[in-house]
Structure 1
Amino acid sequence: MKYLQLLYSVMFLGLFSGCTAFLDAKPEDTLATPTKLQDLQGMLDYESSLNMNYPSSGDIAADYFFLTSEDWQGFEVDPRNTYTWDADAQNLLEWTYAHRRIFQSNVVLDAVDAAELNGRSESDRRDVRGQALFFRAFTFFQLAQVYCPYYHVGMEDSPYGLPLKLSSDINEPLFRSTVQQTYQRIIADLELAADLLPEKGLLPVRPSRLAAYGALARVSLVIEDYDNALKYADAYLEINDELLDYNTLDGRSTMPIAVFNKEVAFHAVTLGNSSMHEPTYAFVDSLLAKSYEENDLRRSIFLLKDPSGYFRFKGSYDGTNNVPFAGLATDEVYLLRAETLARLGRNAEATETMNTLLRFRYKTGQFIPWQNIDSEVLLAKILEERQKELLFRGGIRWSDLRRLNRDPRFAKKLIRRLGAQLFELEPLDIRYTFLLPWTVLEMNGLPQNPR
């Protein structure tokens, strides 16, 4: 408990530093719980805490990029170990940032019912509550992808779920939930958030009903609840089905995709402490780079050829290419919808969904629509398009590897080569679940993930 008490105390003192008059208050005033709704909204608008630094371990360990041995040697030990799937790999900073976000969300949730409106409305109160629920649930989900064993509906439960912190009380005892309980909490919070939030936020840094539906669709796909994945994908697309036409983007630009573009429902980025994903270091996986067809505009929008002959990535929906975009966007929802339709045997609808997306990704008049594709081939093609569309998207590929490795048709052994050293990660390997930081466990008596 001492570790979390110290952690949360530091968070509480540090998170009020901008945004509103309350956040600019004197230090002694910041020790008090905010009493005005506008102050709670100010806490949720603190972008550097709420929209940045989402877990990066899965992306460092994913297969869509590689490093040279020389560059790998230059990084700190934690990202180096994560990149090579070391059994003892862990990331305290990743855990700390996530729990800072959870703490801020809980402060808001504990105070929102009694907060003074001061000219705001009850609708604003609902909005603030919904935003806090979204941030907490989305953070729990991201943590579950790296710190909990894989789980799908109907699977035997595991005791190695998250310690679900649901209160800002730093003296509240902590214990690990089961994995099923972890997902139940994530889904319940997102469903309530969807009921409370407006369809769209002022900017995509604020959660909205659109974002909640996108998150629910992703969670449902991960746990193989295909009926609900389709339901939430359709709910999302009823609000926004617009796609970027890649014909209108400048493939010569090093940053061809604008931040807050019309596909972005929720803006977030991963933790950038390692810098591994920066174009200076990261090369796109060679087989993935070769998979784009000649008329596929993603070749020029996503890839920049390096003098070495390999390719760098330059198509981030964050607009900077420095860290993976970890938010939610419409192209992912189209791919998710197509996959769930295919898995439910609705092949014609799955095919048309893919055709709708890909028309905006190929040179005008050059895309040949999919038609009459065998069921097995159709699903494989959709999954291939997921890799080609969603590379350098924080959290997605790692989640896909974890779930697809359970199907022999799509299981994949990962291989890293660093000089003469060879590192391998077999499908279903226990290292697909990372260790919780030892410092946290020692202070709180929580059980460690198996090794």
Structure 2
Amino acid sequence: MKKILLNTIKLAAIASVLSLSSCNKFIDILPVGYGQIPTALSDYEALLRDEYGNHRTDITQAVLLLNDKFETSGNLNYYPLYKANYNWNESADRIALNNADEGTYYNMYTGINTSNLIIGKAAGTTGGTDAQKAELIAQAKVLRAFDYDILANYYADTYEEANAGTKLSVPLILSADIGAPYTQVSIKELYDFMLKDINEAIPALGATSATVLHPNLGSANALKARILLQMGRYAEALAAANEALKYNDKLFDWTTFYNTYKTQIEAVNVYSNAPSPMGFNYVENYYFRHGSSSNAGREQSIRVDRATRFEQGDARFASRWKLRTVGADTYYTSITTGYFNVGGLTTTEVYLIKAECQARLNDVPGAMSTLNMVRVKRIFAANYAPLSATNTIEAVKLIQRTKRNELILGITPFADTRRLNKDANYAVTLSKTEGGQALTLTPNSRMWTMPFPQGASKNPGNGTIKQNVDK
């Protein structure tokens, strides 16, 4: 665990000299100069804005395990852990292989360290009103809960009420001090803590915030809805989703976007067609978060067999990916460039949380109406027809089809698949043919929980870490 603190020394506690190399793209602000000790509220607010350190989520192994992206043979051969997850190798010792793929773990704890620093020190700063200080602390609590939710759904088993109190989750660190003690808490304790952070934050948050990197009431309630859905507390999750939608209920019209760029999109052998609409100003944003990088670029490529699971006439898919063959590889390549909110919170996710909660609470017509509100903005008019369902199981399956496609390349499809795999009504066995070999990943596979990286487990610092998987 010492490595976490060494990796985050650039965001160190007040007792240490602070030196931060900022990679901001959204707001290019260096929080404080080299050798300065932050004392003003504006210094801590600037720390929160650091995109590279605090608003970046690398969940590569989860996306590989789902086979939601196309991976090159070169990467599979070079990175044994990639190959193990991508090809569902149950015999692979992923603990031994996870000696370098540490981004998910340390990126999240870097953000947590920043949040802990703000929570612990912002109230005593100079400048700013008490309300402004309380708001910044509240924003840090939401971001801390967000980071812990990623960790919980990556390195620990999914939440199940029957065993959440006895299974271990991840280290709960509440201080930015170097050498601070910590405890690897149970899954239940971590989920309760995340909800506590959010509920404490909500009274101090505003309906709007300084930037899309600063949580507000919409993003806090959206995150609350996500966590409550993971816990199976459907009535509460529905209430939180409805509360989030009070602050933003907009949906982007992908059919209009496609028609705007149709000539370029349909041009033969042209693979750079349009600017990404999913950046900082995306109308669906509650909170923006990058994927593995904070640089402008393209999205990850999609496997051909994964592309078949999108609905026919899906304008969102057609606007973002295009079939391409390079040498022996055929895949769907990204055709938009810019920034992509694949790691944050959007209205689409909240609508689909709402839809599942309505279905679970036996309001199947209401659930399908909510689902179709999203679909009508995605499916070309020639292909669109409202969906209906006769029961909860049928409705949830249709909602999940849309949700997995809408939120592809983010953590939510992985978290949802793990959650639903615990219910025989929704559990799925993934299958594919790779190199002429038939491969499968079962719902009860140990591979659905990622091992802690060796850097963490071998250097636990002032605490202990127990692996949540056997290999």
TM-score, structure 1 as length reference: 0.87
**1:286 aligned partner:** 305
- Return the offset for 1:159: 3.7
Q: Contact 1:149 / 1:158 at 8 angstroms: preserved in 2?
A: no
CA distance in 2, matches of 1:430, 1:216: 28
What's the CA shift for 1:15?
5.9
- The 3 A distance-change label for structure 1 pair 356 and 2 is closer
CA RMSD of the aligned region, Å?
2.8
Counterpart residue number, 2:102: 92
- Secondary structure of the 1:162 match is strand
Distance in 1 between residues matched to 2:335 and 2:355, nearest whole Å: 23
Partners of 1:413 and 1:401 lie apart in 2 by: 10
Shift of 1:372: 6.1
Q: Within 5 A, what are the aligned runs for 1:127-206?
A: 127-206=135-214
Check whether the contact 1:54–1:94 (CA below 8 A) recurs between aligned residues.
Answer: yes
**Structure 2 residue runs without a partner (length 5+):** 266-272
Q: TM-score, normalised by structure 2?
A: 0.83
Q: 2:230 aligns with which of 200, 222, 226?
A: 222
Report which stretch shifted further, 424-433 or 339-348: 424-433
Amino acid at match of 1:312: Y
Q: Contact between 2:420 and 2:427, CA under 8 Å: does it hold in 1?
A: yes
CA distance in 2, matches of 1:144, 1:8: 20
Contact 1:254 1:314 in 2 (8 A): no
Task: Give me the whole-angstrom Cα distance separating, in 2, the residues matched to 1:373 and 1:49.
Answer: 47
Residue 265 and residue 222 in structure 1: after superposition, are their counterparts in 2 closer, same or farther (change >3 A)? same
1:43-83 CA deviation, whole Å, 9 max, x = no partner? 1011111112444332232232333535532x434434443
The answer (yes or no) to whether the contact 1:405–1:412 under 8 Å persists in 2 is yes
Paired position in structure 1 for 2:269? none
Give the corresponding residue for 1:336: 353
Q: What is the Cα deviation at residue 298 of structure 1?
A: 2.7
Match of 2:454 among 435, 438, 444: 438
Deviations 1:66-119 (A, max 9, x none): 33535532x4344344434444153323212221111111111110111112xx
Match of 1:101 among 106, 111, 121: 111
Alignment partner, residue 301 of structure 1: 319
1:24-423 matches, cutoff 5 A: 24-27=32-35, 29=36, 32=37, 34-73=38-77, 75-85=78-88, 86-88=92-94, 89-90=97-98, 91-117=101-127, 120-249=128-257, 250-251=261-262, 252=265, 253-259=273-279, 260-272=281-293, 278-279=299-300, 282-286=301-305, 288-289=307-308, 291-294=310-313, 296-307=314-325, 311-312=331-332, 314=334, 319-320=338-339, 325-364=342-381, 367-371=384-388, 373-392=390-409, 394-415=410-431, 417-419=433-435, 423=439
Is this contact kept in 1: 2:184–2:465, CA < 8 A? yes
Q: Is the 8 A contact 2:123 2:130 kept in 1?
A: no
> Structure 2 CA distance, aligned partners of 1:8 and 1:68?
32
Structure 2: which amino acid aligns with 1:65?
Answer: K
Return the alpha-carbon distance in structure 2 between the equivalents of residues 388 and 93 of structure 1. 25
Q: Structure 2: how far apart are the matches of 1:422 and 1:180?
A: 38
Q: Does the 8 Å CA contact 2:153/2:415 hold for their aligned counterparts?
A: yes
Q: 1:368 to 1:15 in 2, by over 3 A?
A: farther
Contact 1:268 1:327 in 2 (8 A): yes
1:23 is paired with a residue of what secondary structure?
A: coil
Give the conservation status (yes or no) of the 8 Å contact 2:4–2:109.
Answer: no
Contact 2:251 2:284 in 1 (8 A): yes
1:39 deviates by 0.7
Q: How many residues align?
A: 434
Task: Tell me how far apart the structure 1 counterparts of residues 240 and 442 of structure 2 sit (CA, whole Å).
Answer: 32
SS at match of 1:306: strand
**Aligned twin of 1:449:** 468
**1:327: Cα distance to partner?**
0.6
- Post-superposition offset of 1:343: 1.0
Deviations 1:136-159 (A, max 9, x none): 110011011111111133445234
| Distance change (3 Å), C-alpha of 1:338 and 1:124 | same
- The answer (yes or no) to whether the contact 2:169–2:187 under 8 Å persists in 1 is yes
Q: Identical aligned pairs, as a percentage?
A: 22
Q: Deviations over 1:383-433 (max 9, x none)?
A: 2111232222x1011101101111222212234554255554321222211
